[in-house]
């Protein structure tokens, strides 16, 4: 029998937990009815954990927040913005169960020398996965601290060789009307599109994200692959990505198209610029009762502020 080390097993090669439990229940019932006499009933084991855990992931000591408390995984999984599965934060954890993350491909196209279609499991082998603890700030003035798993988007960008006229990177997310009831809403122009300037996309903090809390991403949090750009409001971090385009002109992103007076392309966390309907000066950390002061660039100013030197950050929101 071939025994493989956990660190070389791809998520697509692991039995999905729901399939495992369904098969276990069938065997138990069939055995009880005498349909498969002599076959032992499977006992509870760690297969469901193996189906979710990402093996061999190590924390990156450059990206820790020693003075911050990591939010509980339950906060992360049960309080979600994923409008394709509903605008209420309680809807995605229920409705996103319909999302099938295998098979899954991500098409890289546009102004690149090496366009490519990646199978999702290729991304797991593209660069070493690492855990990074980031603050995550939503435009609705709530926040959390999450141990994300992935690698810098720059690792992918370097492999496809952008051309000199590629000034921006555009991210297109899944839009499947068969499983995403939110697409019936006119709140946004679907599919969901987000984008970054090239220097933002190449910044080491910009994370191509495949997991969180040591596990593969839950469906409601953007499985199987999403972006995390920690100095920007959360809506910039597109979920369930199917296409990455390298373009010359600034992309027309989903929320800019929906509310140009309320949302800007850059969407850097800025406590000095209020949303049209609420203040951004404070935020509510999930799990805390009071409010805390919001930080410029979400606390990452030392790393990213130089990219915006000379820009009027009240104009270029």
3-state helix, strand, coil in the chain (%, to 5): 30, 25, 50
Asked if omega into 193 is within 30° of 0 (cis), the reply is: no
Write down the CATH number for the domain with range 54-308.
3.90.420.10
Structure tokens at 145: 């601290």
**Nearby residues of 312 by Cβ (< 8 Å), 6 or more positions away:** none
Cα(299)–Cα(302) distance, rounded to whole angstroms? 8
Looking at every residue in the chain, the average pLDDT score rounds to: 87
Predicted confidence (pLDDT) per residue in 104-135, tens digit: 999 999 999 999 999 999 999 999 999 999 99
What angle (nearest 5°) sits at the alpha carbon of residue 229, between those of residues 63 and 303? 55
| pTM given for the model | 0.84
Per DSSP, the three-state class of 89 is coil
Span 91-98, average pLDDT: 97
Q: 1-10, 204-213, 222-231 — which is least confidently predicted?
A: 1-10
Domain(s) labelled CATH 3.90.420.10 in the chain stretch across: 54-308
Predicted confidence (pLDDT) per residue in 273-285, tens digit: 999 899 999 999 9
């Amino acid at each position: 029998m071939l025994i493989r080390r956990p660190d070389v097993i791809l998520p697509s090669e692991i039995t999905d937990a729901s399939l495992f439990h369904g098969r276990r229940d069938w065997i138990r019932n069939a055995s009880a009815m005498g349909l498969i006499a002599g076959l032992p009933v499977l006992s509870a084991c760690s297969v469901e954990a193996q189906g979710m855990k990402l093996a061999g992931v190590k924390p990156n000591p450059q990206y820790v927040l020693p003075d911050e408390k990591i939010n509980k995984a339950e906060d992360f999984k049960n309080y979600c913005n994923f409008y394709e599965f509903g605008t209420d934060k309680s809807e995605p954890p229920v409705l996103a169960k319909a999302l099938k993350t295998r098979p899954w491909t991500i098409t890289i196209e546009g102004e690149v020398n090496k366009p490519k279609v990646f199978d999702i499991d290729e991304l797991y082998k593209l660069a070493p996965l690492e855990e990074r603890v980031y603050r995550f700030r939503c435009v609705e003035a709530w926040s959390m601290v999450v141990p994300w798993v992935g690698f810098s988007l720059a690792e992918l960008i370097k492999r496809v060789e952008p051309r000199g006229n590629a000034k921006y990177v555009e991210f297109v997310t899944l839009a499947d009307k068969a499983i995403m009831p939110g697409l019936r809403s006119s709140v946004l122009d679907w599919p969901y599109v987000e984008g970054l300037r090239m220097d933002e996309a190449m910044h080491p903090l910009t994370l191509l994200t495949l997991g969180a809390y040591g596990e593969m991403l839950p469906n409601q949090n953007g499985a199987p692959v999403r972006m995390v750009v920690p100095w920007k409001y959360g809506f910039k971090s597109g979920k369930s990505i199917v296409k990455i385009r390298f373009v010359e002109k600034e992309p027309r992103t989903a929320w800019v198209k929906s509310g140009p007076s309320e949302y800007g392309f850059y969407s850097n966390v800025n406590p000095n610029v209020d949303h049209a309907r609420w203040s951004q000066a404070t935020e509510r950390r999930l799990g805390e009762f009071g409010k805390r002061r919001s930080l410029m660039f979400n606390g990452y100013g030392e790393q990213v502020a130089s990219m915006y030197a000379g820009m009027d950050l009240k104009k270029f929101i």
